[in-house]
Amino acid sequence: MSKLAKMVPAAMILGCAGAMGADWQTLPLHAPAPADNPTTPAKVELGKMLFFDPRLSSTGTVSCFSCHNVMEGGDDHRPTSIGVHGQLGGRNAPTVWNAAFQSVQFWDGRAASLEAQAKGPIVNPIEMGMPKLDLAVDRIKRIPGYQPFFERAFGQGGQVTADTIAMSIAAYERTLITPNSPYDRFVQGDKQALDARQQRGMQAFADVGCASCHAGANFSGPPMPAGSGFFMKFPTYLDNPYVAQYHLLDDGGRAVQTGKAQDQNVWRVPTLRNLTYTAPYFHNGLVKSLPEAVKVMAATQLNKKLSDAQAADIAAFLNGLDGQFPEQAMPRLPPTPGDLLE
């Protein structure tokens, strides 16, 4: 049993979930942070401000929050996101909730950490559109009201750099954790936390084979060293109508970044937590309902055809992974100086 599973009393697991045929784990209350970027209140406060600040984009209209709405599901409910100048991105925005428990970031795993991920959208020509990170850094430097926050977060004389911006945003994102879902309470011993249908779906989730990939506390794979990632080919089985219906082969996945044939249509395994809040589903956002997404996954990944009842039961269980969202208050951002408008 993994270290995370050992955090839950064995008797509770065996009493409620042990018969379900999987290594059920609860979500930790705190996310791990790298040694060179410990999470501190000052850093989290600054990171939250930057997360909400559209001035990091070339047009001053797009922030991290634009695509990752932490007042709801941490995404934007579009098949693909809208960036600067109304441009459409190529992939569905993953939720930022519990992203700290993924060992790599983005659908293709190209960022090894939250810090690396935070820099990517700023210079993506479709997303935030800054030609260079230095231009985003310079804009934040020219907002005097930010300097005291950088000094509180990084010490006297704390500098505005691409690294300190990214470190702050990552520190804030490590607080975006949704524990204490009905599933978590069930695994901890509350036998009433999941209703009969959800318990039936939990058993089906294990029996059908979903837990072979969506394992671990975050339902995104087993614990992995930071930066290594847990990847799977999707779709694996092609002899079903869903591959063409939902254009599942149109995007090469990880191969688009690496150029390697073995990475064709390979993707980071995403979390299954809070799926109630993150429709539409998959990397292209073309599947609108959770029961349909369950059927697609069973057919393409396990070569199994599920009945409507089976899919509905598993979807009901997945609804039980909706956790408690920490309260989010909108930050007050420092004012824009007039010379920044020139």
Catalytically annotated residues: 127
Place of tokens 């695509």: 67
Distance CA 300, CA 245 (A): 12
